[in-house]
Chain A
Amino acid sequence: MLYLSLVFVFILSYSFYFYGKKRALSLKFKKNENLSSLPDYYGYYVVLLVFFPAIIIWFFLLIFKSNFQEMFVMSPVLFPDVATWSSGKFGLIMNKISNLSIIVNLSEIDLTVGDKSILKMASESEIIAAKNLANFDKIYGWSNLTLFIILPVLLGFLATKSISGKLNAQPIVEKIISYVIKGSSYIAIFITFGIFFSLVFEAINFFRYVNFMDFFFNTAWNPNRAFVINASEGFDQEALKEAFGFVPLLTGTLLIASVAMLVAVPLGLLTAIYLAEYASSKVRDIAKPIIEILAGIPTVVYGFFAALSLAPFIKDVGEGVGLPVSAESALAAGLAMGVMIIPFVSSLSDDVIKAVPQSLREGSYAIGATKSETIKKVILPAALAGIMGSFLLAISRAIGETMIVVMAASLRANLTFNPLEPATTITTQIVTSLIGDVEFDNPKTLVAFALGLTLFVMTLILNIAAITIVKKYREKYE
Chain B
Amino acid sequence: MVDQNSNYALQTSEVYVHYGKKMAINNVALNFPKNEVTSLIGPSGCGKSTFLRCLNRMNDVIDICNVKGKFLLNGNVDIYSPDIQVETLREKVGMVFQKPNPFPKTIYENVAYGPKIHGIASSQNELDEIVKDSLHRAGLYEEVKDRMDDIATGLSGGQQQRLCIARAIAIRPEIILMDEPCSALDPIATAKIEDLINELKENYTIIIVTHSMSQASRVSSKTAFFHLGNLVEYGETGKIFTKPDKEQTNDYITGRFG
Known: A360-B101, A362-B101, A477-B104. A368 touches B90 (CB 8 A): yes
A361 (CB) vs chain B CBs: closest residue = B61
Stretch from B91-99, B203-211, B233-241, B245-253 contacting the other chain? B91-99
Q: Give 4 nearest A-B pairs by CB, closest first.
A: A368-B90, A359-B101, A366-B95, A368-B91
| B167 and chain A: residue at smallest CB distance | A367
Distance, CA A368 to CA B94, complexed state (A): 8
Chain A residues 330 to 370 lying within 8 A of chain B, measured CB to CB, are 357, 359-370
Shortest A278–chain B CB gap in Å is 12
24 of the cross-chain contacts (CB-CB < 8 Å) are A280-B63, A359-B99, A359-B101, A362-B95, A362-B97, A363-B102, A363-B164, A363-B167, A365-B61, A365-B90, A366-B90, A366-B95, A366-B97, A367-B114, A367-B117, A368-B87, A368-B90, A368-B91, A368-B117, A381-B105, A476-B151, A477-B104, A477-B153, A478-B153
- Closest CB in chain A relative to B192 CB, distance in Å: 20
Q: Does A373 contact B (CB under 8 A)?
A: yes
Chain A, residues 309-334, CB within 8 Å of chain B (1/0): the string is 00000000000000000000000000
Complex interface: chain B residues within 8 A of A363 (CB): 97, 101-103, 164, 167
Q: How far is the CA of A281 from the CA of B63 in the complex (A)?
A: 9
Residue of B with least CB distance to A280: B63
Min Cβ gap B191→A in Å is 24
| Cβ contacts A368-408/B at 8 Å (1 or 0 each) | 11100100011001100000000000000000000000000
A364 touches B61 (CB 8 A): no
Instruction: Please give me the residue from chain A that is nearest to B56 by CB atom.
Output: A366
Q: Are B151 and A367 in contact, with the CB atoms below 8 A?
A: no
Complex CA gap A377/B114 in Å reads: 11
Partner of A477, one of B96, B118, B151, B167: B151
Q: Tell me the nearest residue of chain B to A377, going by C-beta.
A: B113
Inter-subunit contact B101/A368 (CB<8 Å): no
Please provide the chain B residues from 31 to 61 with a CB less than 8 Å away from any CB of chain A in the complex: 56, 58, 61
Query: A359, A363, A369, A378: which has the most chain B beta carbons within 10 Å?
Result: A363
Q: Name B's A-contacting residues (CB within 8 A).
A: 56, 58, 61, 63, 86-91, 94-97, 99, 101-105, 113-114, 117-118, 151, 153, 164, 167-168, 171, 177
Cα of A200 to Cα of B113 in the assembled complex, Å? 53
In the complex, the chain B residue whose C-beta lies closest to that of A281 is B63
Closest residue of A by beta carbon distance from B152: A477
With contacts A361-B61, A362-B61, A363-B97 taken as known, whether A369 is within 8 angstroms of B103 at the C-beta atoms is no
Q: Are B117 and A369 in contact (CB under 8 A)?
A: yes
List, in ascending order, chain B residues with CB within 8 A of A373's CB: 117
| A377 and B117 form a contact (CB under 8 A) | yes
State how many angstroms separate the Cβ of A384 from the closest Cβ of chain B. 9
Candidate in A361, A364, A367, A370 with the most chain B CB atoms within 10 angstroms: A367
Report whether A368 and B89 are in contact in the complex, using a CB–CB cutoff of 8 Å: yes
A478–B104 Cα gap in the complex (Å)? 9
Known: A362-B58, A369-B87, A477-B151. A382 touches B114 (CB 8 A): no
**Extra A-B contacts (11), CB below 8 Å, given A363-B167, A368-B87, A381-B103:** A359-B101, A362-B58, A363-B101, A365-B58, A366-B58, A366-B97, A367-B114, A368-B86, A368-B88, A369-B87, A381-B104
Give the A-B pair count, Cβ closer than 8 A: 79
Q: How far is the CA of A477 from the CA of B104 in the complex (A)?
A: 6
Instruction: Give the complex CA separation of A361 and B61 in angstroms.
Output: 10
Q: A370 and B103 in contact (CB under 8 A), knowing A363-B167, A364-B113? A: no
Known: A281-B63, A369-B87, A377-B113. A364 touches B118 (CB 8 A): no
Cβ of A365: which chain B residues have Cβ within 8 Å of it?
Answer: 58, 61, 90
Residue of B at shortest CB range from A356? Answer: B104
Residues of chain A lying within 8 A (CB to CB) of residue B105: 381
State the CA gap A476–B167 with chains docked (Å). Answer: 21
Q: Are B58 and A360 in contact (CB under 8 A)?
A: no
Contact B94 A366 (CB under 8 A): yes
B101 and A367 contact, CB distance less than 8 A: no
What CA separation (Å) do A360 and B56 show in the bound complex? 16
- A367 and B113 form a contact (CB under 8 A): yes
B87, B95, B114, B153: the one within 8 Å of A370 (CB): B87
Expressed in whole angstroms, the minimum distance between the Cβ of B118 and any Cβ of chain A is 6
B15 vs chain A, min Cβ distance (A): 20
Contact A360 B95, beta carbon cutoff 8 Å = no
Beta-carbon contact of A368 and B61 below 8 Å: no
Q: Which residue of chain A has its CB nearest to the CB of B60?
A: A365
| B97: A residues at CB distance < 8 A | 359, 362-363, 366
Contacts of A368 in B (CB 8 A): 86-91, 114, 117-118, 171
Separation of A477 and B99 alpha carbons in the complex (Å): 16
Residues of B within 8 A of A366 (CB): 56, 58, 90, 94-97, 168, 177
Query: CA separation between A359 and B104, bound complex, in Å?
Result: 12
* Bound Cα distance from A168 to B89, whole angstroms: 78
From B116, which residue of chain A is reached at the shortest CB distance?
A377
Residues of B within 8 A of A476 (CB): 104, 151, 153
Among residues of B, the one whose C-beta sits closest to the C-beta of A358 is B61
- A369 — nearest CB in chain B belongs to which residue? B117
Q: Which residues of A contact B164 (CB under 8 A)?
A: 363
Report the Cα distance A366→B99, complex, angstroms: 14
* Distance to closest chain A CB from B109 (angstroms): 9
Chain A nearest Cβ from B211, distance in angstroms: 18
Determine if A367 and B104 form an interchain contact, defined as CB atoms under 8 angstroms apart: no
Chain B residues near A382 (CB-CB < 8 A): 103-104
Nearest-neighbour CB distance to chain B for A379, whole angstroms, equals 9
- Residues of A contacting B171 with CB < 8 Å? 367-368
Contact A360 B168 (CB under 8 A): no
* Nearest residue, chain A, Cβ from B170: A367
CB distance from B72 to the nearest CB of A (A): 19
Q: Is the CB of A360 within 8 A of B103?
A: yes
CB distance B103 to A367 under 8 Å? no
Contacts of B96 in A (CB 8 A): 366
Interface residues of A in 265-286 (CB under 8 A from B): 280-281
Closest Cβ of chain A: how far from B205's Cβ, in Å? 16
Smallest CB separation, B38 vs chain A (Å) = 18
| A369 neighbours in B (Cβ, 8 Å) | 87, 90, 113-114, 117
Q: Give the distance to chain A from B17, nearest Cβ to Cβ, in Å.
A: 17
A residues in contact with B177, CB < 8 Å: 366
* Cα separation A165 to B74 with both chains bound (whole Å): 92
A369 to B119, CA, bound (A): 11
Is the CB–CB distance between A378 and B56 below 8 Å? no
CA gap between A16 and B63 in the complex, in Å: 63
**In the assembled complex, which residues on chain A have CB atoms less than 8 Å from the CB atom of B89?**
368
User: Which of chain A's residues have a CB closer than 8 A to the CB of B91?
Assistant: 367-368
Beta-carbon contacts of A452-478 to B below 8 Å, as 1s and 0s? 000000000000000000000000111
